[in-house]
Structure 1
Amino acid sequence: MRFKGKTAVITGGSSGIGRASVELFLREGATVIMGDIDEAEGTAMMSSLGEGFFFKTCDVTREEEIRALMDYAAEETGGIDIVFNNAGAGGPRAPIDEISGDEWDFAMALLLKSVAMGIRHAAPHLKERGGGAIVNTASICSFQAGYGPIAYSTAKAGVLHLTKVAAAELAQYKIRVNAICPGFIQTNIFAATVGANKEETQAINTVLGQAAASAQPVARPGVPDDIAEAAAYLASDAAGFVTGTHILVDGGMLVGTEGSWNPEKPGMLDAILPEHLR
Structure 2
Amino acid sequence: MNRFDDQTVLVTGGTGGQGSSHVRAFHAEGANVVIGDIDADRGAALADELGTRARFTLLDVTDEDSWSAAVQAAESAFGGLNVLINNAGVQNPPAPIERTDQATWSRILDINLTGTFLGIKVAAPALRRAAGGAIVNIASTMGLGGTAQYAPYVASKWAVRGLTRTAALELGRDGIRVNTIHPGVIATPFIQEPAAGATAAIADFYSPEPFAIPRLGEPTDVTRLLLFLASSDASFVTGSEYVIDGGLLLGPALQAETA
| TM-score of the pair, normalised by structure 1 | 0.86
Output the CA distance in 2 between the equivalents of 1:29 and 1:102.
41
Residue in 1 that maps onto 2:221: 226
* SS of residue in 2 equivalent to 1:79: coil
Aligned residue among 235, 239, 261 for 2:234: 239
Identity of aligned residues (%): 36
Structure 1 residues 174 and 91 mapped into 2: Cα distance closer, same or farther (>3 Å)? Answer: same
Output the CA distance in 2 between the equivalents of 1:236 and 1:209.
35
Residue in 2 that maps onto 1:28: 29
- Kindly provide the CA deviation profile for residues 54-102 of structure 1, in whole angstroms up to 9, marking residues without a partner as x: 0011111222211211111112111100000000111343321122222
Structure 1 residues 215 and 139 mapped into 2: Cα distance closer, same or farther (>3 Å)? Answer: farther
Output the CA distance in 2 between the equivalents of 1:148 and 1:73.
38
Output the CA distance in 1 between the equivalents of 2:148 and 2:22.
24
Q: Which amino acid aligns with 2:249?
A: L
User: Runs ≥4 in structure 1, deviation > 3 angstroms?
Assistant: 208-213
What is the CA distance between 1:209 and its match in structure 2? 9.1
Residue in 2 that maps onto 1:275: none
Output the CA distance in 2 between the equivalents of 1:138 and 1:264.
34
Aligned residue-pair number: 255
Indicate if the aligned counterparts of 1:74 and 1:80 stay in contact, CA closer than 8 A: yes
Output the CA distance in 2 between the equivalents of 1:107 and 1:250.
22
Residue pairs, 1:36-51, within 5 angstroms: 36-51=37-52
Indicate if the aligned counterparts of 1:140 and 1:147 stay in contact, CA closer than 8 A: no
Output the CA distance in 2 between the equivalents of 1:109 and 1:240.
31
What is the CA distance between 1:126 and its match in structure 2? 0.5
Residue pairs, 1:69-218, within 5 angstroms: 69-146=70-147, 149-190=150-191, 191-194=193-196, 208=203, 212-218=207-213
Q: Which amino acid aligns with 1:114?
A: G
Q: Which amino acid aligns with 1:221?
A: L
Q: Which amino acid aligns with 1:193?
A: A
Determine which structure has more spread, i.e. the larger CA radius of gyration. Answer: 1
Structure 2, gaps ≥5 residues long: none
Indicate if the aligned counterparts of 2:62 and 2:118 stay in contact, CA closer than 8 A: no
Q: Which amino acid aligns with 1:262?
A: L
Greater mean deviation of Cα atoms: 7-16 or 144-153 = 144-153
Indicate if the aligned counterparts of 1:141 and 1:147 stay in contact, CA closer than 8 A: no
Structure 1 residues 212 and 63 mapped into 2: Cα distance closer, same or farther (>3 Å)? Answer: farther
What is the CA distance between 1:144 and its match in structure 2? 1.1
Output the CA distance in 2 between the equivalents of 1:264 and 1:189.
34
What is the CA distance between 1:252 and its match in structure 2? 1.0
| TM-score of the pair, normalised by structure 2 | 0.92
Structure 1, gaps ≥5 residues long: 266-278
Output the CA distance in 2 between the equivalents of 1:137 and 1:97.
28
Indicate if the aligned counterparts of 1:209 and 1:220 stay in contact, CA closer than 8 A: no
